[in-house]
């Protein structure tokens, strides 16, 4: 079940990391996971987040609204890692902040399936050793599909979630992504 719509792009400035590195932001938070691992209405801001720097990613999580929140940045292309046309280059050596708990990890991503999915991994690294990680596959959707989800479930012009009522919350936390050709779960 998708937790949100993510936009990945190359940084046009050095606000969050080096200009030209890959970064990712939440453009539509669809849900959060509550304390009993069930979908719930998305939180308005990053939970227990602070400001800081990790692997060159200058994160700004303190009281940050989730919609528009840059949660990963400073990922650099690792030359020689692509297997075109199936897999693009790996981007790594950046950082990612978990908006659910404020923890910060090393990050890496790679476009796969000829551009249809993006593999993303967050890893806890101590003294150069990976002590744990979590990976996900994100599915690409069209701009028109993004606009539909944003209209259905995003934040209004005055900064309020459209999905304040329980019926809309239920729809958005279980958004029918199959209509976009996305399998859930991936």
Q: Is 59 inside a domain boundary?
A: yes
Q: Is 185 inside a domain boundary?
A: no
Give all strands of the β-sheet with 4-10 in edge-to-edge order: 4-10, 22-29, 69-78, 90-97, 104-112, 117-126, 129-139
Q: Is 186 inside a domain boundary?
A: no
- The four Cα atoms 22, 28, 31, 32 give a dihedral, to 10 degrees, of 40
Residues 117-131 have pLDDT tens digits of 899 999 987 777 778
Structure tokens at 69: 């929140």
Neighbours of 117 (CB within 10 A): 17
What are the angstrom distances between the C-alpha of 79 and each of 8, 72, 91?
19, 20, 9
Q: Is 22 inside a domain boundary?
A: yes
Q: Is 152 inside a domain boundary?
A: yes
pLDDT classification of 184: cutoffs 50, 70, 90: very low
Dihedral angle sign, alpha carbons of residues 30, 116, 82, 1 = positive
The CATH number of the domain holding residue 168 is 2.40.128
Domain extent at residue 128: 4-180
Residues 66-116 have pLDDT tens digits of 888 999 999 999 999 998 888 899 999 999 998 888 999 999 999 988 888
**Res 159: pLDDT:** 66
Domain count, the chain: 1
Q: Is 134 inside a domain boundary?
A: yes
Half-sphere exposure of 130 (CA within 13 A, CB side): 10
């Amino acid at each position: 079940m998708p937790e949100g719509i993510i936009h990945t792009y190359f940084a046009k400035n050095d606000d969050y990391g080096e200009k030209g590195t890959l970064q990712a932001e939440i453009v539509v938070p669809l849900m959060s996971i509550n304390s009993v691992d069930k979908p719930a209405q998305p939180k308005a801001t990053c939970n227990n987040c602070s400001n800081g720097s990790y692997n060159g990613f200058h994160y700004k999580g303190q009281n940050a609204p989730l919609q528009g929140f840059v949660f990963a940045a400073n990922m650099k292309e690792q030359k020689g890692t692509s297997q075109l046309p199936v897999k693009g280059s790996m981007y790594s050596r950046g950082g990612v902040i978990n908006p659910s708990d404020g923890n910060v990890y090393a990050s890496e991503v790679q476009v796969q399936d000829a551009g249809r999915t993006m593999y993303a991994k967050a890893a806890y690294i101590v003294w150069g050793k990976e002590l744990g990680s979590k990976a996900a596959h994100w599915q690409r959707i069209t701009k028109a599909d993004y606009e539909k989800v944003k209209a259905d479930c995003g934040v209004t012009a005055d900064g309020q979630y459209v999905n304040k009522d329980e019926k809309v919350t239920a729809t958005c936390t279980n958004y029918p992504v199959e209509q976009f050709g996305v399998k859930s779960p991936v």
